[in-house]
Amino acid sequence: MAAMRTATMANDDIETESTESADPLANRLLSTLSRRDYEQLLPDLEAVALPLRMVLAEPGADATHAYFPTSGMASMVNEMKDGTVEVGTVGNEGMIGTPILLHSKSMTTRTFMQLAGGGHRIAAEPFRRMIKQSPEAERLFFRYAQTMFDQLAQWVACNRLHTLEARCARWLLMTADRAGGDSFTLTHEFLSYMLGVHRPAVSLVASELSERGLLRYRRGAVTIVDRAGLESASCECYFIARRSTEQLFAEIAG
């Protein structure tokens, strides 16, 4: 499978949004910050539009900004000569830019929007400064980085051990959660990239799920018809990922 190619937009060219159209507190990480830490970050947060396929990070590129989506979904992928595989996803529960937390000068994966949305970004230096000054914020963001690592390890095991149907169901459920509803846009070609398989295999599995009445797929538009049925078709990785995210915020709140 050829490596995926997506449109690129430089940091300086990112379209900004008005603060009225994107409340930073719609991002769960930002909403979990103490009032003091949030108010310290607020002047440096910039509202941005995050259209479909916008590239937020490239492997080896300078780690200049952290992104906090308030809607939509970003994919982190590894591109190799034999194909492209998704290694993680981020919605309004998280952030793009964990290398900044670890004082890395560069990003490690290609990250782009697979569901259009909006959010906020902050330059690396003021973000690191706030974390350095607040043990509470440092704990939150480092705990989030650990959750991301745990999910990456889960995806490695999932891709090795579980059937394509189970992985496809898991991915569709995760996408629906980030889309905020059971209908979203998705092509077979794009799904094949995310699952690391050829397009005909994805088309066959999607047809089987449709024939069983679990979803409806027409011209790139997906609607989950039977969520309970799709959850039954999914592997346990979907529930493990959801549980780890909820545990993160429960521990911080506690």
135-161 vs 164-179: helix crossing angle, rounded to 10: 150
Residue with the larger pLDDT of the pair 113 and 18: 113
68-72, 146-150, 192-196, 220-224: segment of lowest average pLDDT: 192-196
pLDDT of residue 233: 96
Q: Which of 251, 249, 253 is nearest to 27 (CA)?
A: 249
Give the residue-averaged pLDDT of 218-233: 93
The answer to whether the CB of 168 falls within 8 A of the CB of 195 is yes
The token pair at 15 is: 């379209």
Chain centroid, CA 103 distance in Å: 21
Q: Please give the C-alpha separations between residue 172 and each of 131, 150, 163, in angstroms, as whole numbers.
A: 34, 20, 14
Q: Which of 54, 70, 61, 78 is nearest to 118 (CA)?
A: 70
Residue with the larger pLDDT of the pair 8 and 85: 85
**CA pair distance 23, 231, nearest whole angstrom:** 31
Residue 5 scores a pLDDT above 80: no
Those residues with Cβ within 8 angstroms of residue 227's Cβ, 6 or more apart along the chain or in another chain: 173, 176, 182
Phi, psi of 220 (to 5 degrees): 85, 0
The secondary structure of residue 228, as a DSSP letter, is H
pLDDT of residue 195: 80
Residue 165 scores a pLDDT above 90: yes
- Sequence length of the chain is 254
**CA pair distance 136, 154, nearest whole angstrom:** 27
pLDDT of residue 194: 75
pLDDT per residue as tens digits for the range 113-163? 999 999 999 999 999 999 999 999 999 999 999 999 998 899 889 988 999
Q: In this prediction, what percent of the chain has a pLDDT beyond 90? A: 60
pLDDT of residue 254: 60
pLDDT per residue as tens digits for the range 21-67? 479 999 999 999 999 999 999 999 999 999 999 999 999 999 999 99
**CA pair distance 133, 91, nearest whole angstrom:** 26
Q: In this prediction, what percent of the chain has a pLDDT beyond 70? A: 91
In order of start, what are the domains of the chain with their CATH numbers?
Answer: 11-158 (2.60.120.10), 163-234 (1.10.10.10)
Residue 214 scores a pLDDT above 60: yes
